[in-house]
Copies of this chain bind each other. A is one copy, B any other.
Amino acid sequence: MPRIKHDEPTTHRTMQVVNHIRSLIENGTLQPGDKIPPEREFARQLKISRASLRTGIGYLAAMGVMKIRHGVGTFVADGPPEFGKASLGMMGALHGFQTWQMFEARTILESNIAALAAERGKDEHHAAMAEEVAEMFAAMNSPADFLIHDLLFHRIISQASGNPILASVIETITSALYDKRRKTVERSTDMRQSAEMHREIYRAIRNRKPNEARKLMEEHLHQAQVAQGQERPPDKKAATSLVAAVK
């Protein structure tokens, strides 16, 4: 029989680095925000070349797990979890993501997240949400500020849902939509209505009414979508239909 040499992927230096850092994170040695040793020293510790170490670190940086600052050092990411910033944009270019699809995904995710938040939200979440709603009413004449508090409001709901995975997915999609939103928010004439809507959502969550929260969130996002003229185009499928691609 032909000799099978199927070695383990343990060989690749890149994965060696990734796994090492992973274990450091898992056993608590590395915490979000921590700085890792300088490349030259770290490479010596791991008994690999600096070049290989760098590919490994680059890999982690691409996934958003590490953050590199030229001239300063390399750190473990500490912000809200986000699946590779450029990832979605890249995927969009590759597989032809449409804006309406982003809205659809966001609507499904956020409406369910709102329901979860209504079930599990704690007092501090309610307080923070109330705060942001108030800020929205106060920023009625400043679209840019309004948008900031809008984002914050939604982010708090994500946290209140108690499911960080869903929160990160939303975060990724939202950040991809952010640029588009920023361009159109100026012409928004419905900030008052939007603020009211947010307040209603807040109330539904605070009063622990999951279904109401879900419904309101759905409605809210639908309005936002319409306001940007990003409705799903009529069902005229240019369907590529590659069932074989599933393989």
A residues near B (Cβ < 8 Å) are 14, 18, 22, 25-26, 32, 51, 54-55, 58-65, 76-81, 83-84, 86-91, 93-97, 101-102, 104-105, 108-109, 112, 120, 122, 124-125, 127-128, 152, 155-156, 159, 163-166, 168-169, 172-173, 235, 237, 239, 241, 243, 245-247
Contacts and interface: CB of A to CB of B under 8 A. Distances in A.
A158 B198 CA distance: 31
Contacts of A76: 94
B62 A169 contact: no
* Complex A-B, nearest 6 residue pairs according to Cβ-Cβ distance, in ascending order: A62-B62, A59-B62, A105-B165, A108-B112, A63-B87, A83-B83
A173 B164 CA distance: 13
A185 B165 CA distance: 24
- Copies of this chain in the oligomer: 2
Contacts of A59: 58-59, 61-62
A160 to B, nearest CB: 9
Contact of A243 (B104, B108, B125, B168): B125
21 contacts: A22-B90, A25-B90, A51-B51, A55-B55, A58-B58, A59-B59, A63-B63, A63-B84, A64-B91, A65-B91, A65-B94, A81-B94, A83-B83, A91-B165, A95-B168, A96-B164, A108-B108, A108-B112, A122-B239, A127-B243, A152-B246
Given A26-B93, A156-B243, 8 more contacts: A25-B94, A55-B55, A59-B59, A65-B87, A65-B90, A97-B164, A104-B163, A108-B112
